Chains A and B, each alone.
Chain A
Amino acid sequence: MLLTELLELPVLDAGGTRLGLVVDARFAVAPDSLEASLLGLLVGRRAHAAFLGYERKSENAPALIARYLRWHERGTFLVLLQDVRSIEPDGVRLDSTYRRYSPFLP
């Protein structure tokens, strides 16, 4: 599968309620081999403004832009791969026991 086939898919909970869109995919890169394995998906309200990443980074400047974009992207959260039940061409379904994590990058 290509990354762009995953991005912008709707994300649904076990009951079929729409939670948002896949705005990005988080990977862990092994320090030596550089193998990049999928950790989870970032779910947000809108996909198209998320590339600036203010809601995931500690950058705070310029303050006005940072604050606006963070407000604009509020509600973005991370779900871990283990909480993803299925990925279909028309949407991503989560387990009933899924948990929301902070989208901030470590």
Chain B
Amino acid sequence: MTASLPDPPPVRGRVLDARLHLLDRQVLDLEGQPVTTVDDLELADLQHGERREAEPPTISALISGPILTTRLFGGRTPRTRLHRIAWDQVTEIDIVLTLGVPGDALEVTWFERWLAEHVIGRIPGGRHAPD
């Protein structure tokens, strides 16, 4: 049944499906350090209602944060509690997404940094790797 459908017209560039290739993927920073996973994607120029725009909507940001609870249990998260990572900071799309900035510069890593600074880093031996 599926096989008999026509192929869509070819397009320039790589074709990927958001859920299959982007959602739930690991995000790494400039140095390959884990930053977060992709919990959601923000689509620019896509509003409810009739479609009139000539330009197709694009992905404007990777979203991370408590959105997960809504993906699990439904409902909606207030926008202010979401962490955005602008799409133009993505430098590579593979089985992981790589960013062109250090993870410490991103808002999404604040809890990790706070914990490292105030709890884990204060325990003796917490600041260097085991020898």
Instruction: Check B129 for interface membership: any CB of A closer than 8 A.
Output: no
Stretch at the interface among B3-11, B26-34, B101-109, B115-123: B3-11
Would A3 and B43 be within 8 Å (CB), given that A26-B15, A86-B50 are in contact?
yes
Whole-angstrom CA separation of A44 from B43 in the bound complex:
21
User: Does A14 sit within 8 A of B, measured CB to CB?
Assistant: no
Interface residue SS majority, chain B: mixed
A69: shortest Cβ distance to chain B, in Å? 12
Known: A35-B87, A103-B2. 10 other contacts (CB 8 A): A2-B41, A2-B43, A24-B17, A38-B46, A51-B19, A53-B17, A53-B20, A85-B51, A87-B51, A100-B5
Q: Which 5 pairs from chain A and chain B are nearest by CB?
A: A3-B41, A101-B8, A102-B5, A36-B59, A37-B56
Q: Which residues of A contact B (CB under 8 A)?
A: 1-4, 6-7, 23-31, 34-40, 42, 50-51, 53, 55-56, 70, 74-78, 80-81, 84-89, 99-106
